[in-house]
Each structure stands twice: as structure tokens, then as C-alpha cells.
């Protein structure tokens, strides 16, 4: 942000994004900084000089760099958000990014772990405090379908072992309460009773790392790297949770509530995943398939 001309006021935009997650704020500021840098090559040093053609050319240039469609869609969302804010602030008379279109974030279906892969991931011995933490983290991600940022932000008081629920602060500061199963409760109890107090860190934090801080997304990725037989992103456990629920007959709107999706359309991607799994099973088992 330091090299971006002051007219862009990315500091003010960052403050306005206060209700968004830390990851979203960081991504949007990075996206706007990259756009400002791109505009500076055309001699435009502030948002007042931007028109819709600039925006369309910018998105087209991202496509030529073969960025993922989801990445371009996020950058378009950042631009829409930023210019809407500029209009609300009274700095612009019209919004050049209004209804700005970008490729959808769809495309590749999310990876879903098989039941065997999940069992293998969660069956390792937990003999040390770090082992117990790792197992509790993975059990909870799969038991409750949490986003990694949601898990890392949990405090001890958010986890009710007796009631078998977790209270989560999701996107847009929306709170939801999610049930968890007995295996996850057992792993969490083992961590809290025979591991958490052996590791330094903020006393209120549910999960901490070896450096004495709150567990972060990179720490969770390292846990999976150590325990998974094949490369697995932490978000795959959320995809797996949703897909396995639907495969088991759960109602789509119930899954929407459990995941904390504001739109049912976001949840519907998992119905496509389930259909792909059904086709795969059918193709591998039917005698005439």
C-alpha cells in the first residue's frame, strides 16, 4: 500500500472493510494495489480517472495471464466493492464497476475425500500434545465443515463439549452454532485435558502453535501435509463434509445453514459434486456401464 498514490486511499478502504474477514481484507487490498499499479502505467493516479473500459481491459489482461477464473472473479468483486465505496463516500459521481462481469469462480469441482481417505487421515495415534492438537483440528474440520479461518479464530468458550456444539463467527461477522459428533468431542476433550495447557499461547485460544501463538491457516496446512497420504488442502475437508452430508440424504437448506452460506446457490455446487460421485460409482459397478 505504501507505493500506491494517496488518491486511491487504500487505508480508508481497509478501514471500511472492517467487517470482512482478515483474509478477504488482505486479498482485496492486494487486488486494488495491483489494479492501481496497472492504471499508473496509463498515467491514471486515482479512481476518478478510471472508466468502465479500463476495468474491462484490466480483467481481459488477467485472462491472458491464465489466472484461475476464481481469482479473476475475486479481483472483479474487489473492484466492485471499492468503487461502490468511492461512490458512497461522495468521491465519484458514478460507479464504473457497477455490474462489472467476470468469469465465474466455478469450473473445477472441489476435491472430495473418500470415506477411506478420511478414516486414514483421522486414525493416526495421538500420543503427544501436538498429536492430540492435530487430531482435534482435523476431526473438527470434518465434523463441523468449518472454514480454516473459523477454526483458527475459535476460543475455548466457543466449544461446548457437553452440548456437542461449536459456536462459529463466519463471514460477515455472522454467528452460527454447529453440532459435532462423538469422535470429534473425544478428540477435543483429549486435547483440552492432556495437551492444550502443555503448550504456550493465548489462554483463551482453542488451538495454538509451537511458537506460542494462535494456530494459523499455514499451521493447519502443515498438519495436513504431515498426516495426509496425498496432497490435501484444508478446505477439502469442508467440501467433503458437505458432500458426505448430501450423499447421506441431508436437505440442501440444512447444509446451507451448517456451512454458513448466505446464498443457497453457493451450496448447490455440492449437489454437482454428489452427482459426479454417483456417476463414478455407477460407472465402476454397473455391468453394462
Per-residue pLDDT of 191-202, as tens digits, reads 999 999 999 999
Q: Is 272 a catalytic residue?
A: no
- Please state whether the predicted TM-score (pTM) of the whole model is above 0.75: no
Together in a domain, 146 and 84: no
d(C-alpha 75, C-alpha 28), whole Å: 7
Catalytic residue status for 235: yes
Q: Which residues contact residue 160 at a Cβ distance below 8 angstroms, ignoring those fewer than 6 apart?
A: 166, 167
Query: Which range, 105-109, 113-117, 162-166, is most confident?
Result: 162-166
Instruction: Answer yes or no: is 289 within a domain.
Output: no
Which domain covers residue 53, as residue numbers? 6-88
Contact 105, 70 (CB under 8 A): yes
- Residue 50 near residue 44, CB atoms below 8 Å: yes
* CA diameter of the chain: 67
Task: Say yes or no to pLDDT of 103 above 90.
Answer: no
**Is 50 a domain residue?**
yes
CATH number, domain containing residue 40: 1.10.150
Same domain assignment for residues 133 and 272:
yes
Does residue 41 share a domain with residue 161?
Answer: no
Ramachandran assignment for 99, one of left (phi > 0), alpha (psi -120 to 50 degrees), beta (any other): left
Report H helices in 153-234. Answer: 182-194, 217-227
More confident residue, 117 or 271: 117
Residues 73 and 206 in one domain: no
pLDDT-based confidence at 143, cuts 50/70/90?
very high
**Is residue 108 situated within a structural domain?**
no
Polymer length of the chain: 289
Which one is catalytic: 171, 176, 221, 233? 171
Confirm whether 219 is domain-assigned. Answer: yes
Among this protein's residues, is 171 annotated catalytic? yes
In this predicted structure, the answer to whether residue 190 has a pLDDT above a threshold of 80 is yes
| pLDDT of res. 270 | 77
Residue 167 lies in a domain: yes
Query: Which positions ≥6 away from 45 have C-beta within 8 Å?
Result: 5, 7, 39
Q: Which of 58, 82, 142, 270 is catalytic?
A: 270
Residue that is last in its domain, among 71, 88, 105: 88
CA distance 10 to 156: 35
In terms of domains, do 171 and 219 share one? yes
pLDDT of residue 180: 95
Q: Is residue 150 part of a domain?
A: yes
The 10s digit of each residue's pLDDT in 240-272 is 999 899 888 888 889 899 999 888 877 877 776
Domains of the chain: total: 2
CATH of the domain at 159: 1.10.443.10
226 carries an active-site annotation = no
Cα-based angle 142, 148, 152 (whole degrees, multiple of 5)? 110
Q: Among 88-92, 189-193, 275-279, name the one with the lowest average pLDDT.
A: 275-279
Confidence of residue 1 (pLDDT cuts 50, 70, 90): very low
Q: Which of 147, 196, 214, 239 is flagged as catalytic?
A: 147
Q: Which of 164, 221, 235, 277 is catalytic?
A: 235
One domain, residues 24 and 133: no
Active-site residue 75, yes or no?
no
CA distance 231 to 214: 24
* 237 and 129 assigned to the same domain: yes
Contact 39, 49 (CB under 8 A): yes
Q: Is residue 105 part of a domain?
A: no
46 plus 127 within the same structural domain: no
Q: At what angle do helices 252-259 and 235-247 cross, to 10 degrees?
A: 160
Lowest-pLDDT choice from 95-104, 160-169, 278-287: 278-287
Are 240 and 138 in a shared domain? yes
pLDDT at 209 over 60: yes
Q: Strands across the sheet with 175-179, in order?
A: 159-160, 165-169, 175-179
Residues whose CB is less than 8 angstroms from the CB of residue 51 and which lie 6 or more positions away in sequence, other chains included: 96
Last residue of a domain, one of 43, 70, 88: 88
82 is catalytic: no
Q: Which of 133, 238, 239, 244 is catalytic?
A: 238
Q: Are residues 42 and 138 in the same domain?
A: no
Mean pLDDT of 130-155: 96
Do 157 and 242 reside in the same domain of the chain?
yes
132 and 262 share one domain: yes
Instruction: Give the pLDDT band (50/70/90) at residue 118.
Output: very high
In a domain, 102, yes or no: no
Q: What is the CA radius of gyration of the chain?
A: 22
Amino acid at each position: 500500500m505504501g507505493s500506491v498514490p494517496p488518491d486511491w486511499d487504500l487505508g480508508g478502504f481497509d478501514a471500511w472493510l472492517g467487517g470482512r474477514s482478515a483474509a478477504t481484507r488482505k486479498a482485496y487490498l492486494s487486488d486494488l494495489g495491483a489494479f492501481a499499479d496497472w492504471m499508473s502505467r496509463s498515467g491514471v493516479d486515482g479512481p476518478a480517472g478510471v472508466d468502465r473500459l479500463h476495468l474491462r481491459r484490466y480483467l481481459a489482461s488477467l485472462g491472458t495471464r491464465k489466472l484461475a477464473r476464481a481469482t479473476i472473479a475475486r479481483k472483479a468483486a474487489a473492484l466492485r466493492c471499492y468503487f461502490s465505496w468511492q461512490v458512497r463516500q461522495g468521491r465519484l459521481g458514478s460507479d464504473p464497476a457497477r455490474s462489472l462481469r467476470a468469469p465465474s469462480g466455478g469450473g473445477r469441482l472441489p476435491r472430495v475425500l473418500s470415506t477411506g481417505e478420511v478414516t486414514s487421515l483421522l486414525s493416526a495415534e495421538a500420543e503427544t500434545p501436538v498429536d492430540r492438537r492435530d487430531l482435534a483440528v482435523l476431526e473438527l474440520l470434518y465434523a463441523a465443515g468449518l472454514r480454516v479461518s473459523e477454526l483458527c479464530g475459535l476460543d475455548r468458550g466457543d466449544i461446548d463439549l457437553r452440548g456437542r456444539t461449536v459456536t462459529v463467527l463466519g463471514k460477515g461477522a455472522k454467528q452460527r452454532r454447529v453440532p459435532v459428533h462423538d469422535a470429534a468431542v473425544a478428540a477435543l476433550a483429549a486435547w483440552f485435558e492432556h495437551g492444550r495447557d502443555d503448550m504456550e499461547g493465548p489462554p483463551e485460544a482453542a488451538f495454538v502453535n509451537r511458537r506460542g501463538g494462535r494456530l494459523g491457516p499455514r499451521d493447519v496446512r502443515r498438519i495436513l501435509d504431515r498426516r495426509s497420504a496425498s496432497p490435501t488442502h484444508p478446505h477439502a475437508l469442508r467440501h467433503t463434509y458437505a458432500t458426505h452430508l448430501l450423499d447421506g440424504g441431508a436437505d440442501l437448506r440444512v447444509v446451507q445453514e451448517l456451512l454458513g452460506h448466505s446464498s443457497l446457490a453457493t451450496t448447490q455446487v455440492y449437489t454437482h459434486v454428489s452427482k459426479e460421485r454417483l456417476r463414478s460409482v455407477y460407472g465402476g459397478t454397473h455391468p453394462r456401464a
